[in-house]
């Protein structure tokens, strides 16, 4: 069976072609996520008017006991700034979800630091490949993340914050 609804399918040529890089390196030291996608391919960048140093935020949904809302993350890797729902006690395990589809972010695996935190995927391309993703921790205040591009680790951040 053909999965395409050909009766209602037309090609107009009016679509936006994405040619921008999904990760930019600025000043030889700053990695900026310029596009990000949830588990169904929904765009997570620029869905709010929040920016960090002129770059649109990456927005994710966060659920914790008695709390549910949007968190706008800095797209600059290693920058702990965020806006929106931010009054979650440090150490709280959170459910991370796509703010568009409401689907949970995809589990990647355990953070290997003994914290019990887990990594979840924010994809860097619409193909939703584990070869191009940001891995974010599900424990509030546990500042660990990794950026994988073309199946190689291009940036890792682990910091102790008070």
72-86, 115-129, 138-152: which has the minimum mean pLDDT? 138-152
Q: Does residue 3 carry a pLDDT above 80? A: no
Q: What is the value of pTM for the model shown?
A: 0.76
What is the pLDDT, as a whole number, of residue 72? 96
Q: Where in the chain are the domains?
A: 21-107+117-159
Please write the tens of the pLDDT for every residue from 137-154.
Answer: 999 988 877 777 765 554
Cβ burial 113-150 (10 Å sphere, 16+ → b, else e): eeeebbbbbbbbbeebeeebbbbbbbbbebebbbbbbe
């Amino acid at each position: 069976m053909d999965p395409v609804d050909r009766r209602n399918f037309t090609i107009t040529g009016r679509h936006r072609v994405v040619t921008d890089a999904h990760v930019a390196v600025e000043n030889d030291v700053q990695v900026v996520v310029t596009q990000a996608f949830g588990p169904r391919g929904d765009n997570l960048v620029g869905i709010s008017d929040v920016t960090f140093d002129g770059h649109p935020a990456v927005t994710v949904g966060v659920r914790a006991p008695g709390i549910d809302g949007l968190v706008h993350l800095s797209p600059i890797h290693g920058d702990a700034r965020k806006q929106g729902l931010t009054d979650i006690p440090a150490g709280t395990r959170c459910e991370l979800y796509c703010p568009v589809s409401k689907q949970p972010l995809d589990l990647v695996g355990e953070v290997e630091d003994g914290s019990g935190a887990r990594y979840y995927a924010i994809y860097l391309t619409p193909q939703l490949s584990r070869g191009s993703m940001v891995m974010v921790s599900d424990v509030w205040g546990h500042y660990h993340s990794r950026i994988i591009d073309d199946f190689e680790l291009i940036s890792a951040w682990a910091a102790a914050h008070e």
